Amino acid sequence: MPFSDFVGNPETVHRLREMLARERFPHAVILSGAHGSGKYTLALMLAMAMNCLERTVIGRTSAERTLIGRSADAGGAGDLPDFCGHCSNCIRIAQSRDLDARFAEAVEARENLRDADKKETRLFVQTHPDVLIIPPDPPQMMIKVDQVRHVIDTIYYRPGEARERVYIFTGSAFMKEAANSLLKVLEEPPEFASIFLLTENAGELLPTIRSRSMTFNLGALTFAEIESRLATLRPDWNARQRALVARLSEGAVGRALSFDLEGYVAARSHALIILRSALAEKNNDHSELFKTTESYRSGAEGRAKIEGLFRTLYSLLEDLMFLQSGAGQLVRNTDILGELRKLSESSDFAWVQRAAEGLGEVERGLRRNLLRSLSLDAFATALEGVS
């Protein structure tokens, strides 16, 4: 799993590795990008490259280096540091890769403590003694001052088994005191430590923290980049499915890889029944519609299901608007383009807008806890015949 496995943003990755090669890596790096853009994956890869016991530098002889140096200009790996993935440092750091699973384990471990200890225990993920991952602490999901205190308590000691201590903050929502404590570390960082701050919105961090860090953005990938990645990693999806997922994951490869395609398609089939029923002639048979809306129940599970339905309804309505405004290339539900064209022909732009507004009303109604299935029926029937 070397750097070449990282998808997208090759220039950013290249610059970070170059700084590593020159031993000019900044003490604090802000990795900014959408959810699923690879911030955490990249931070872990850099932690491995810093500490790999068999750190590889391609092209050791000067002749090779010249040759490879040229290919590096053309976007190749050059003689930049990489990591092996199988030494004891790489293996232990890589155990943190499944952040959701490690986070859940840490939360559960804390839940099992006695009440008195629970309050004292701050949340961390740590699979290597010199690499500490600091997630936002539930239930507030903020970085707390005691978490940063633990960073301060350890960061000034030389690493034991690594060359570089690495701290990865996986969120940028800090309690005020925590942010101020972090600032103190950034004012006097030790030589042998690197801090990564991962954020979807760098503006959330204190300006004084930002000015003491170097910011790197992980931009959205193209559909083609995501599709080609999915072809390797999700061979169980066919080309149409890969095209659909690439378009729905908004340029974030992590989101594409964990996309719940089955759940999406199920919700979409319901959304289509609702839209078809709304666009049908007046006094049509509502049995299919009612059967669908009846399956939406209250409770936490019902809540998630109905939110999935809303998301797909909005995404279909948006696609209809794209078709009606001559921007068909922006349609995301490409696998049902024929069906969308039919729907788009039997409605018009004003109808789609009314539908989106009506949907907003149903959503607000649900927040006031109206009976779920009832308001869905009302939504579909209210739109009937207005085209």
Instruction: Please tell me the distance from the alpha carbon of residue 312 to that of residue 319, in angstroms, as a whole number.
Output: 10
Structure tokens at 156: 């000034």
CA distance 149 to 228: 43
- How many CA atoms within 13 Å lie on the side-chain side of 244? 21
The residue range among 85-93, 163-171, 333-341, 367-375 that interacts with Zn ion, by the rule CB under 5 A, is 85-93
Task: Specify the residue, 117 or 161, whose C-beta has the smaller distance to Zn ion.
Answer: 161
Q: Determine the size of the site formed for Zn ion (CB under 5 A).
A: 5
Minimum CB separation of residue 52 from Zn ion in Å reads: 3
Residue 45 lies near Zn ion (rule: CB under 5 A): no
Instruction: Compute the least distance from the CB of residue 1 to Zn ion, in Å.
Output: 10
Instruction: Outline where the chain has alpha helix (H).
Output: 10-21, 39-51, 62-73, 88-94, 99-111, 115-120, 145-155, 176-187, 207-211, 223-233, 239-248, 253-257, 261-279, 287-294, 300-324, 337-345, 349-367, 372-382
Nearer to Zn ion (CB atom), residue 16 or residue 205: 16
Distance in Å, CB of 3 to Zn ion, minimum: 13
Question: Which window, 86-94, 102-110, 167-175, 338-346, contacts Zn ion (CB under 5 A)?
Answer: 86-94
d(CA 233, CA 29): 29
Interface mask toward Zn ion for 48-77; x: CB under 5 A: ----x-------------------------
Closest separation in Å from C-beta 79 to Zn ion: 17
Choice from 1, 21, 58, 87 touching Zn ion (CB under 5 A): 87
Among 28, 34, 77, 90, binds Zn ion (CB under 5 A): 90
Stretch that binds Zn ion, among 47-55, 74-82, 173-181, 284-292 (CB under 5 A): 47-55
Among 19, 21, 58, 84, binds Zn ion (CB under 5 A): 84
CB contact set of 313 (below 8 Å; sequence gap of 6+): 271, 274, 275, 359
User: The tokens of 65 are what?
Assistant: 């280096």
CA atoms within 13 A on the CB side of 346: 15
Site for Zn ion in 167-196 (CB under 5 A): none
Partners of 167 in beta bridges: 132, 195
3-class secondary structure, 343: helix
Q: Which residue's CB is nearer to Zn ion, number 82 or number 319?
A: 82
How near is the Cβ of 266 to Zn ion at its closest, in Å?
Answer: 42
Q: How far is CA 185 from the centre of its chain?
A: 28
Stretch that binds Zn ion, among 1-9, 80-88, 256-264, 352-360 (CB under 5 A): 80-88
In this complex, which beta carbon is closest to Zn ion, that of residue 2 or of residue 302? 2
Angle between helices 372-382 and 349-367 (to 10 degrees): 160
Query: Residue 218 — left, alpha, or beta (φ > 0 → left; ψ -120 to 50 → alpha)?
Result: beta
Q: Specify the residue, 52 or 253, whose C-beta has the smaller distance to Zn ion.
A: 52
Where do contacts with Zn ion occur on this chain (CB under 5 A)?
Answer: 52, 83-84, 87, 90
